Amino acid sequence: MTTDLDAYWMPFTANRQFKKAPRLLSKASGMHFWTPEGREVLDGIAGLWCVNAGHARPKIVEAIRAQALELDFAPPFNMAHPKAFELAERLVQLTPAGLNKVFYTNSGSESVETALKMAIAYHRARGEGSRTRLIGRERGYHGVNFGGISVGGMVANRKMFGSMLTGVDHIRHTHDPARNAFSIGQPQHGAELADDLERLVALHDASTIAAVIVEPVAGSTGVLLPPQGYLERLRAICDKHGILLIFDEVITGFGRTGAPFAAQRFGVTPDLMTVAKGLTNGCVPMGAVFAKQHIHDVFMNGPEHLIEFFHGYTYSGHPLACAAALGTLDTYAEEGLLTRASEMEAYFADALHSLKGLPHVIDIRNIGLVGGIELAPIDGSPGKRAFDIFLECWERGVLIRTTGDTVALSPPLIISKTHVDQIVGTLADALKRAG
């Protein structure tokens, strides 16, 4: 194994700190990683919110191997291969009713770009071309392409890159620790925050707004849950003004909240829904956009030999990705993983909330098998306290994730109670020793 780390410019990483003390992973199976030295590390974050079925699952591995031998690539423009259609049919059996069209991408970022373009093009195709404005939410994360960071609301992801897309605005975020600190599940207060969309409708006029995009549960900003009634109100306001509602379920999709999709957990169906990550269990890059029938049908006009939607990627519906996704869906189905988070939720919640009262803990948030522990920042060094705890847990054999001063947990859905105890116990010890 090479010991030269200089050439690789790592993404979303403190490169200089990392290369002074590298954290390398060389093997994975089930709930665990191993380092090149053979040290076992419990995966508390499902890789990066994506390895929902655990690592190195046999059906997925074999599906990829067999597909590489049979068909390594097929052009996706004006051509296709059978597994792309098979996978789409399997997926729409899991989605909320009405989301029955699938457009393939290669990542969550690309899924967001696709959904935004789809929304604007939809309105133009139906004769409302003035609807070009996009509405995101403060503290939202929608990937790292220009469309995604434009509708996103995480300052660090935006400030270095100049002007964003024009015609974008943001509703306020839902984080309200004054009223909702230490809520178990959905917080009680804040449904009225959805009414901020009415403010933007009044400011811009509904006739200019194409879509609103939100994460049902905001993950990368620190696990922010929708208050009770919030998503229902957002849906009603969009319907009132003819605005499309997009759910970004790149993190929440495929069982994370205890249902196949958060839309089903919360009982609110969007018009477009973006997914990635858990679609292939993280094994092969893949994303998708689910669209309602009427959105798809608006494009199906004009001469049949002409392209209806000028968008797509070289690797859309890649054969290896489709095979991996089919193996992933088989694994989810055979082990009941798309609803297992609902079975583990109470135990996971009790374990997380046992951290209340420990040094520096100012809030705890949870739903399904996702949790956030918000810490008081060190004066003048935001993010350092959480990062120090991340390093401490790593040294003690547990991988967690931090975003700002929030510790985020999203373990594989195969997690046992013993694993929960190890993650939370290790985190508790680190909090007690933290400066």
- The pLDDT tens digits for 394-411 are 999 999 999 999 999 999
**Residues 6 or more apart whose Cβ sits within 8 Å of residue 375:** 360, 361, 362, 385, 386, 389, 405, 406, 407, 431, 434
Per-residue pLDDT tens digits for 320-378: 999 999 999 999 999 999 999 999 999 999 999 999 999 999 999 999 999 999 999 99
Quote the tokens at residue 340. 């297992």
pLDDT at 435 over 80: no
Band the pLDDT of 35: cuts 50, 70, 90. very high
Quote the tokens at residue 398. 């547990």
Per-residue pLDDT tens digits for 140-166: 999 999 999 999 999 999 999 999 999
**Residues 6 or more apart whose Cβ sits within 8 Å of residue 194:** 171, 230, 231, 233, 234, 237
The H or E element that residue 67 is part of is helix 58-70
**Across residues 421-435, what is the average pLDDT?**
95
DSSP assignment, residue 184? S
**Residues 6 or more apart whose Cβ sits within 8 Å of residue 385:** 360, 375, 376, 377, 378, 405, 434, 435
pTM here is 0.97
**Alpha-carbon dihedral 199, 200, 204, 206, rounded to 10 degrees:** -90
SS3 289: strand
Band the pLDDT of 170: cuts 50, 70, 90. very high
Tokens 């290790």 correspond to what residue?
A: 426
Helix, strand, coil fractions of the chain, as percent rounded to 5:
40, 15, 45
pLDDT at 1 over 60: no
Per-residue pLDDT tens digits for 205-219: 999 999 999 999 999
Is the separation of the CB atoms in 58 and 283 below 8 Å?
no
Per-residue pLDDT tens digits for 67-98: 999 999 999 999 999 999 999 999 999 999 99
- The residues spanned by each domain of the chain are 15-52+337-433, 61-335
Domain 15-52+337-433: give its CATH superfamily.
Answer: Aspartate Aminotransferase, domain 1 (3.90.1150.10)
Strand 99-105 relative to strand 133-137, pairing: unpaired
Q: How many other C-beta atoms can be found within 10 angstroms of the C-beta atom of residue 404?
A: 18
Task: Choose the CATH number for 61-335 among 3.40.190.10, 3.90.25.10, 3.40.640.10, 3.10.310.30.
Answer: 3.40.640.10
Buried-exposed string 41-76: b where 16+ CB fall within 10 A, e elsewhere: bbbbbbbebbbbbbbebebbeebbeebeeeeeeeeb
How high is the pLDDT of residue 220?
A: 95
